[in-house]
Chain A
């Protein structure tokens, strides 16, 4: 490289830096800064990736439509790689350097719990996209969440069992975070629904054969149904083993497997399996007069058109979080974090992809059981159980 080209290059670079700095400074004055820490890569990327795509897409759309309260939104997204320590560092950066007014993020319960004390101290509202009930129970005044909890999934399943007159249930749970937490919740609420857990087996996250555990469950006296909290490939193998052993009671899966890949992996064995899931999964099948239909069909169409891949419930949680925040911004008329917190807490009648949200000072999630739909797999596709 000659000296001249080198100098030219340096000069051009300096110009670019100067220009972009000037541009950023010019814009920053009238922007609403929203932060997000998501698990975009790493083991929880299936949660963070659709959430990131959703946030980017909708912030762009909102800005094209003139922003919120006449001010454009600016979105700052960081990738925690599913690591709670990293999430905490990045959240500190959002609060101190980026000076955000609110945060929509936190893909996993672990990262959310690592970050929530920071937001409480900084008095900035934080809408989490993770499932664990610990996020909102006990209530942290600055922390909200959009997805349903695993406790609700248990309740929805037990409700369906009650309706079918089933009460003696065998549990087979994954020992990963999700399965473990949901197993605890399901044991906890069993009594409320008159459910008796007659067998309680577990399997490791990388196990490839669950016939021994299922054999023990099959041997349990008066078994009437089997429930499998867990996600990943485990439930697919459980479903296949279940069919192999010819256990002739209904099999329930959790919302953790509510995706097409579960049906593909489990194949014919998935026929007749029931699971609770968000309405997003069956958007087109909802009744015309279903109040949720408009929202989920719109989101699904928009996401699939933009990214050319099937929509996921986890992206839907990000949509709900962003829209709850936008509604609060509009209602408050300004972007003062303290006032935003109060308005988010007053959210009522908001229809999101997860269901109708009615928050209160004691309930920072605001969903009820109607948010879940009970689905049954028939002919390799979801059908809504009426």
Chain B
């Protein structure tokens, strides 16, 4: 029982991060139909910027806020400089552009920062918390709590604010949204900024546990993508559930089966979902437009 609980905690912590990354995918996908493979780099930038801002003498909370702002600006720049000029190109082209952007950002981080691993201090100490014989670090609570807060804020933003609703409207029908006076360019810009900001937050929360480096984003993007596919691309609830499920499946796989296949779990999930349930757990049924 203790063992199971320990695996569960481990899975929930990692899964919460995947969930935030999957949410980032969802936000941009909803607004533009683009799957942004630079999503993992936002997570990396959040962590790395915070590390370096605090090395340059900023107190941790200030460094974290600055990192979120910088990452959002990079998200905006990505949209302005790479996605917008290619507007009208088909979705596959846009996706390839985001892969290029992710490689570029990784290279940039390597030059601007360095190639070493870095850590942040835990926000509230390292003393493990004992829960029914299993242990949890305070930082895990921060990660899970942070993910919950992000989910609630996003839910509020998308369902209770006009601007959030206009993003949803754009995702449903861009032409109609434009006709009712929604500034579609602004919506796209906002979705990239928002997605980058949530990614950066995930990076900041998780760096004290997992450490970070210029190439930490690649794996996270893949896992987050698996989570988004599992939950159903475009569904925020699906992203969260998918993230947690992938995390738990990984931890259980590593614990009960063999850790050799830990990373394979996520990819097996992608394949299985694509074969058996192409629209994911909560996805819209795919409709073919004629």
Chain A residues with CB under 8 Å of chain B are: 45, 175, 201-204, 206-213, 215-216, 219, 232-233, 236-237, 240, 243-246, 261, 264-265, 267-269
State how many angstroms separate the Cβ of B199 from the closest Cβ of chain A.
16
How far does the alpha carbon of A209 sit from the alpha carbon of B136 in the complex, in Å? 12
- Whether the Cβ atoms of B211 and A236 lie closer than 8 Å is yes
State how many angstroms separate the Cβ of A361 from the closest Cβ of chain B.
40
Who on chain A is nearest to B6 by CB? A215
Q: Which of B88-123 contact A (CB under 8 A)?
A: 115-119, 121
Who on chain B is nearest to A262 by CB? B117
The SS class assigned to the B binding surface is helix
- Given A244-B135, A265-B117, A209:B209 Cβ within 8 A: yes
B262 at the interface (CB under 8 A from A): yes
Contacts of B137 in A (CB 8 A): 244
Chain B residues with CB under 8 Å of chain A are: 3, 6-7, 9-10, 13-14, 115-119, 121, 126, 128, 135-137, 206, 209-211, 213, 219, 251-252, 254-255, 258-260, 262-263
Contacts of B209 in A (CB 8 A): 208-209, 240
Who on chain B is nearest to A219 by CB? B3
Contacts of B213 in A (CB 8 A): 233
- Given A244-B135, A246-B135, A269-B126, A208:B117 Cβ within 8 A: no
Contacts of A265 in B (CB 8 A): 117-119, 211
Contacts of A209 in B (CB 8 A): 10, 13-14, 209-210, 251
- Whether the Cβ atoms of A244 and B128 lie closer than 8 Å is yes
- Whether the Cβ atoms of A237 and B254 lie closer than 8 Å is no
Contacts of B9 in A (CB 8 A): 211
How far does the alpha carbon of A211 sit from the alpha carbon of B14 in the complex, in Å? 11
- Whether the Cβ atoms of B119 and A245 lie closer than 8 Å is no
How far does the alpha carbon of A269 sit from the alpha carbon of B208 in the complex, in Å? 12
- Whether the Cβ atoms of B117 and A267 lie closer than 8 Å is no
Who on chain A is nearest to B252 by CB? A212
Contacts of A219 in B (CB 8 A): 3
Contacts of B206 in A (CB 8 A): 208
Contacts of A212 in B (CB 8 A): 6-7, 10, 251-252, 254-255, 259
Who on chain A is nearest to B17 by CB? A208
Contacts of A236 in B (CB 8 A): 117, 119, 211
From A245, A261, A268, contact of B117 by CB (8 A):
A261
- Given A208-B14, A237-B210, A265-B211, A202:B259 Cβ within 8 A: yes
From A216, A232, A267, contact of B121 by CB (8 A):
A267
- Whether the Cβ atoms of B117 and A215 lie closer than 8 Å is no
Contacts of B262 in A (CB 8 A): 203-204, 207
How far does the alpha carbon of A202 sit from the alpha carbon of B260 in the complex, in Å? 7
- Whether the Cβ atoms of A208 and B211 lie closer than 8 Å is yes
- Whether the Cβ atoms of B117 and A216 lie closer than 8 Å is no
From B116, B126, B135, contact of A261 by CB (8 A):
B116
How far does the alpha carbon of A206 sit from the alpha carbon of B259 in the complex, in Å? 12
- Whether the Cβ atoms of A232 and B254 lie closer than 8 Å is no
Interface centre among A207, A244, A267 (most CB of B within 10 A): A244
Contacts of A201 in B (CB 8 A): 259
State how many angstroms separate the Cβ of A50 from the closest Cβ of chain B.
14
Additional A-B contact list (19), CB under 8 Å, known A204-B259, A233-B117, A264-B119:
A206-B219, A208-B209, A208-B210, A209-B10, A209-B251, A211-B7, A211-B251, A212-B10, A212-B255, A213-B259, A215-B3, A215-B7, A233-B211, A240-B126, A240-B209, A244-B135, A261-B117, A265-B119, A267-B121
Who on chain A is nearest to B251 by CB? A212
How far does the alpha carbon of A361 sit from the alpha carbon of B278 in the complex, in Å? 64
- Given A45-B115, A208-B210, A265-B211, A213:B126 Cβ within 8 A: no
- Whether the Cβ atoms of B263 and A204 lie closer than 8 Å is yes
Contacts of A211 in B (CB 8 A): 6-7, 9-10, 251
Contacts of A246 in B (CB 8 A): 128, 135
Contacts of B13 in A (CB 8 A): 209
- Whether the Cβ atoms of B126 and A243 lie closer than 8 Å is yes
12 residue pairs from A and B, CB less than 8 Å apart: A204-B260, A209-B13, A210-B259, A211-B10, A212-B10, A233-B117, A233-B213, A237-B210, A240-B209, A246-B128, A265-B117, A265-B211
Contacts of B258 in A (CB 8 A): 202
How far does the alpha carbon of A127 sit from the alpha carbon of B120 in the complex, in Å? 41
State how many angstroms separate the Cβ of B46 from the closest Cβ of chain A.
15
How far does the alpha carbon of A210 sit from the alpha carbon of B210 in the complex, in Å? 10
Who on chain B is nearest to A203 by CB? B259
- Whether the Cβ atoms of B211 and A237 lie closer than 8 Å is yes
State how many angstroms separate the Cβ of A177 from the closest Cβ of chain B.
15
How far does the alpha carbon of A244 sit from the alpha carbon of B126 in the complex, in Å? 8
How far does the alpha carbon of A204 sit from the alpha carbon of B263 in the complex, in Å? 8
Contacts of B219 in A (CB 8 A): 206
Contacts of B252 in A (CB 8 A): 212
Contacts of B118 in A (CB 8 A): 265
Who on chain A is nearest to B134 by CB? A215
State how many angstroms separate the Cβ of B249 from the closest Cβ of chain A.
12
How far does the alpha carbon of A208 sit from the alpha carbon of B213 in the complex, in Å? 12
- Whether the Cβ atoms of A213 and B128 lie closer than 8 Å is no
Q: Which 9 A-B pairs have the closest CB atoms?
A: A208-B210, A212-B255, A212-B254, A233-B117, A211-B10, A215-B6, A244-B128, A233-B211, A212-B251
Who on chain B is nearest to A261 by CB? B116
Contacts of A269 in B (CB 8 A): 126
Contacts of B117 in A (CB 8 A): 232-233, 236, 261, 265
Contacts of B263 in A (CB 8 A): 204, 206-207
How far does the alpha carbon of A268 sit from the alpha carbon of B219 in the complex, in Å? 27
Interface centre among A202, A215, A219, A243 (most CB of B within 10 A): A215
